[in-house]
A and B are shown apart, each in its own frame.
Chain A
Amino acid sequence: MSVTGTEGGAPEILVRFDQVFKSFRTSRGRRQVALDGFSMSVPTGAVVGLLGPNGSGKTTALKALLGLARPDRGTITAFGRELPADQRFVARRMGALIEGPAFTGSLTGEHNLRLLGELHGARRDEVADVLELVGLDGAAHRSYSGYSLGMKQRLGVAAALISRPDLLVLDEPMNGLDPEAVRHMRELLKRLRDERGMTVVVSSHILSEVELVSDWVTIVRNGRVICDASVPELLARGTSRLVVRVHDAVTARSVLTDHGYTAVPAFGPAGAELQVEPPATRPTPSDGSDVLRLLTERDVYPRELVVESASLEDIYVAAVRAADAATATARQEPRHGT
C-alpha cells in the first residue's frame, strides 16, 4: 500500500523513518507500543500531513525525529544524517511545536519568544517579524497566561519559526484555532513552503485542512504507516462514488448487480436514486461511462448520473478500516493454523 515517490523523477527525501520501533513503559509497568515498524518519507520542500487516530503514534514519531524519544530499533535519517547520532547537526535545522505550545506563563508572548530566539541568535526585530507573521503582533506584550488557546497555538508556531528552520515540525497546530485563524495558518504554511522552500510536517485531525494544505499525506494506525502518498495520487486512487437517478430503479439495480456492481437504493434530495459502487475487481476508478453503457444497453436511461469524487476523509476512513480488517485477519490466521 505504501507508495514512496511518484513514478518518473522520485522526489528528494529530506526525512526518512525506516522500520522504527518504540515502546513506552506505562506507570503500571506494562509496555505500550507507540511505533511498530513505522516507515515514512518526507519529500524536500513538501508539506506533509501526518494523519491518524488518537494514540496512533504521530507525536511519538515526531518526538523521535526531534531526539526527545529514542527509538528502540530502526533508523531515522534527516538532512542525510543518521539520528540520533547526528542530532545536533539536524537540531539546528528544525523548528518544532510538539503536543501544544510550551511557554512560561508569567512572561509576555514577546519575552517568551525572545528567550527562545536568544538560543538561535535571533535579533529583536526578527522576533517582532515572526510575531507579525503568525498574527500575534497586537498581543505581543500581553502575559502568556492571559492568551486564548488559539493565541498560545500561534505563539507555539512562532517559536518553531524563530530558529529559521529548513524543516518545520508542527504537531496539531490547528488545535483551538477559529476558522479564520485556520485559514491564516494554512496560507502561512504554503507561504513558508513556497517563499522559503521550507519542508513542513504537520499532524492534524482536521482532514479537510490537511487536504487543502498538504502535498503528501501519511496515515498512521497503531504505530504503523498504512498509507503514504502524494495528495493528488491519493485522491485519484480513492474510489469515487456514483449516484444514478433513474425512473426504473428496480431494473437498473438488477442490471448493475448482474455485472458485479453494488447498487444501493436511496432516497436523495432529487428523489429515488441508486448509489453505485463498481466491482472490487475493477482496476481503475469508474468515471461513470461504464455504468451508463450497461444501463442504456438494456434501455434504461438515467435522468442523471453524478460522480462524487472521494475526499481525504473518505480515503482516511477507508484506509483505517482496511488496516483494521487486515489486522483482524492476521490475528485469525495463526488460530486457523493450530
Chain B
Amino acid sequence: MARDRAVAPPPSPSPSLSPAGADGEPLPWRRLARAELLRLRAPRAMRYAGIGLPLAIIAFGLSKLLLHDRDTATAWRSAEERYAAYLADAQTHGLPVGSGLTARNYFRDPRYLMETLSFGDLRTVDTALAAAAVVFGMVAGGADWSSRVMLTLAAAEPRRFRLFATRALLVAALSMAATAAAGLLLLPLLLLAAFTRGSAAGLDGVYWAALASQYARGVLLVGLLCLLGHALAMLTRKASVALAIGFLYLAGSDQIFAGRGPRGAEYAMDGLVFAVLNEKPVIPLAQSDCIAGPGCEAVHVDLTAADGFLGVLIYLVPVLLVALWRFTRTDIT
C-alpha cells in the first residue's frame, strides 16, 4: 500500500476527494458483478476453501492408489481359500452346495477398474460438494445480512431484482466452477490409479459420453443446490436460521419420506441427488449393487436423472420465488 502511494500522483498535504464520480448513469452491471464477485471471494474461509478443496480431491484420488492393487493372483488365492472354507463348512454341517457357485463369487478384484469404479468415485465427490454447496450458499447469502452490508449494497443498487439475481448467479456459478474444477482434477488421478493399479480397459466412446454426462449433471446439481441454500438465507436473512432449516429437513426427511413406499424417494433430497448423479440416466435394479437407503429406493423406482432434477426444482423454485419476492417487495431494515 505504501508503495502504491509512492507511485501515485504527489500526495496533497491534505487529501481531498476527486470531483463527483456520479455521472448520472445507473450502476453498470459489470461493475456490480465484479464487486460482488470480489466480495464473495474476500472472506478468509474462501481462501482456505480454495486451498482445502484441491487438497481433499488430491487426497481422495491418491487414496485409490493405496487401496488398489494389480496383484490379482493373491486375490484369487484368497478367493479360492474362502471358497474351499465354504465347501468344508457345508460338508461338516451337511448342507447342500449352491449350484453354480464357484471361487469367482468370492473374488474381490483389487484392481482399479476405471470403466466401472470411476462413476462411483465421481459421484462421491459430487455428493460431498453438493452438501458443501448448500452450506456455502447459505453462508454467502446470510453473511451480508448479519453484517448489515446488505443495506449499503441495496442503497448503492436500488434495482433489487438485479442485485438479487447477480448475487444468486455468482454464488451458483462459483460453486459450479469449483465442482467442474474438482472433476477435472479428479479425472487424471483416477486414470493414474487405473494405469498403475488396475486397468483402463473399456474406455470407449460410450464410457466417455456417460462420464461426461455424469460430470455435467454433477456441476448443474451443485449449482442448483447452492442456489437453494442461498435462496433460503436470502429469505430468512440469517445464515443460522437457514442452516437450522437445512438440519431440520435432514433430521425430518427420513420420518416424512421413509416407509411411504419407494416413490417417497422421488421427494427426498438424498434420493434425488443419487438419481441425478447416477452413472446411467436410468439404472436398472439388476445391475445395481445397492442394498438399502433412499438412493436405492430411487433405483427401485427407476428414477431418472431428469426426474431427479425435476425433484430438486420442486424444492428450489418456490423458495427462490418467495426469497425474490421478499427481497424486492419489502423493506431492507
Which residues of A sit under 8 angstroms from B154, Cβ to Cβ?
A: 67-68
When the two chains form their complex, are residues A102 and B17 in contact, meaning their CB atoms are under 8 A apart?
no
Instruction: Identify which of residues 151-186 in chain A touch chain B, using a CB-to-CB cut-off of 8 Å.
Output: 159, 161, 163-166
Q: In the complex the two chains form, is A94's CB within 8 Å of B155's CB?
A: yes
B152 and A165 contact, CB distance less than 8 A: no
User: Does the CB pair B155–A161 fall under 8 Å?
Assistant: no
- In the complex formed, the residue of B with least CB distance to A104 is B147
Closest residue of chain B to A195 (Cβ to Cβ) is B16
A119 and B17 form a contact (CB under 8 A):
no
1/0 contact string of A93-112 vs chain B (CB within 8 Å): 11010111011111100110
Q: Do B333 and A126 touch (CB < 8 A)?
A: no
Chain A residues whose C-beta falls within 8 Å of the C-beta of B31 in the assembled complex: 118-119, 121
Contacts of B155 in A (CB 8 A): 66-68, 91, 94, 96, 98
Q: Considering the complex of A and B, which 10 residue pairs feature the smallest CB-CB distances, nearest first?
A: A102-B148, A87-B158, A118-B35, A129-B15, A92-B22, A88-B26, A164-B21, A125-B8, A69-B331, A119-B35
- A290 to B163: give the CA distance in the assembly, Å: 65
Q: Is B38 an interface residue (CB 8 A)?
A: yes
- CB < 8 Å: which of B149, B152, B158 contacts A67? B158
B4, CB-defined interface residue at 8 Å? yes
Judge if B109 is at the interface, Cβ distance under 8 Å.
no
A residues 115-162 in Cβ contact with B at 8 Å: 115-116, 118-122, 124-126, 128-130, 132-133, 140-141, 159, 161
Interface residues of B (CB under 8 A from A): 1, 4-5, 8-9, 15-27, 31-32, 34-35, 38-39, 42-44, 143-144, 147-149, 151-159, 331-333
Chain B residues whose CB sits within 8 angstroms of the CB of A166 once the complex forms: 20, 22
Contact-size category for A: 35 or more
Cα–Cα, bound, A110→B23 (Å)? 25
The CA-CA distance from A257 to B9 in the complex, in Å, is 71
Contact yes or no, A133 B34, CB < 8 A: no
Chain B residues whose C-beta falls within 8 Å of the C-beta of A106 in the assembled complex: 43-44
> Contacts A94-B155, A104-B42 given: A163-B331 contact, CB under 8 Å?
no
Is the Cβ of B151 less than 8 Å from the Cβ of A102?
A: yes
- Which residues of A are found within 8 Å of B147, using beta-carbon distances? 102-105
Contact: A104 with B143, CB < 8 Å? yes
B156 contacts A102, CB within 8 Å? no
Chain A residues engaging chain B, CB cutoff 8 angstroms: 24, 63, 66-70, 84, 87-89, 91-94, 96, 98-100, 102-107, 110-111, 115-116, 118-122, 124-126, 128-130, 132-133, 140-141, 159, 161, 163-166, 195-196
The answer to whether A63 touches B333, judged by C-beta atoms less than 8 angstroms apart, is yes
27 A–B contacts, CB within 8 A, in A order: A67-B155, A68-B331, A69-B331, A69-B333, A89-B24, A89-B26, A92-B22, A98-B155, A99-B151, A103-B147, A104-B43, A104-B147, A105-B147, A115-B39, A119-B31, A121-B31, A125-B4, A128-B4, A128-B5, A130-B17, A159-B152, A161-B17, A163-B156, A164-B18, A166-B22, A196-B16, A196-B20
A93 to B155, CA, bound (A): 11
Q: Please measure, in the bound complex, the distance between the C-alpha atom of A22 and the C-alpha atom of B157, giving whole angstroms.
A: 22
Instruction: Give the residue name and chain of the A residue nearest to B158 (CB).
Output: A87
B20 to A164, Cβ gap below 8 A?
Answer: yes
Q: Which residue of A lies closest to B331 (CB)?
A: A69
Tell me the bound Cα distance from A98 to B153 in angstroms: 12
When C-beta atoms are compared, the residue in chain B nearest to A68 turns out to be B332
With a cutoff of 8 Å between Cβ atoms, the chain A residues found around residue B4 in the complex are 124-125, 128
Pair A164/B19 contact, Cβ less than 8 Å:
yes
The answer to whether A125 and B5 touch across the interface, beta carbons within 8 angstroms, is yes
For the complex, what is the distance from the CA of A66 to the CA of B333, rounded to whole Å?
A: 11
| Min distance, Cβ B98 to any Cβ of chain A, angstroms | 63
- Chain B residues near A102: list those with CB within 8 A: 147-149, 151-152
Chain B residue nearest to A100 in the complex (CB): B148
- Decide: B35 and A115 in contact? CB cutoff 8 A: yes
A196 to B158 alpha-carbon distance, docked (Å):
25
With a cutoff of 8 Å between Cβ atoms, the chain A residues found around residue B26 in the complex are: 88-89, 91-92
Q: Which of A87, A110, A116 contacts B152 (CB 8 A)?
A: A116
Closest residue on chain A to residue B20 by CB atoms:
A164
A71 to B9, CA, bound (A): 45
Please determine whether B22 and A93 come into contact, CB atoms closer than 8 angstroms. Answer: yes
Chain B residues, Cβ within 8 Å of A132: 15
Do B35 and A140 touch across chains, with their CB atoms under 8 A apart?
A: no
CB contacts (< 8 Å) of B27 on chain A: these are 88, 91-92, 119
The distance in angstroms between the C-alpha atoms of A299 and B155, with both chains bound, is 68
Chain A residues whose C-beta falls within 8 Å of the C-beta of B22 in the assembled complex: 92-93, 163-166
Known pairs A115-B39, A163-B156; list 20 more (Cβ under 8 Å).
Answer: A67-B155, A68-B331, A84-B158, A88-B158, A91-B155, A92-B27, A98-B151, A102-B149, A104-B147, A111-B42, A115-B42, A118-B39, A119-B153, A120-B156, A128-B1, A132-B15, A141-B1, A163-B21, A195-B16, A196-B17
By a CB distance below 8 angstroms, the chain A residues around B151 are: 68, 98-99, 102
Q: Please report the C-alpha to C-alpha distance between residue A119 and residue B153 in the assembled complex, in whole angstroms.
A: 9
Give B12's nearest chain A residue, CB to CB.
Answer: A129
B19 proximity list for chain A (CB < 8 A): 164
B24 shortest CB reach to chain A, Å: 6
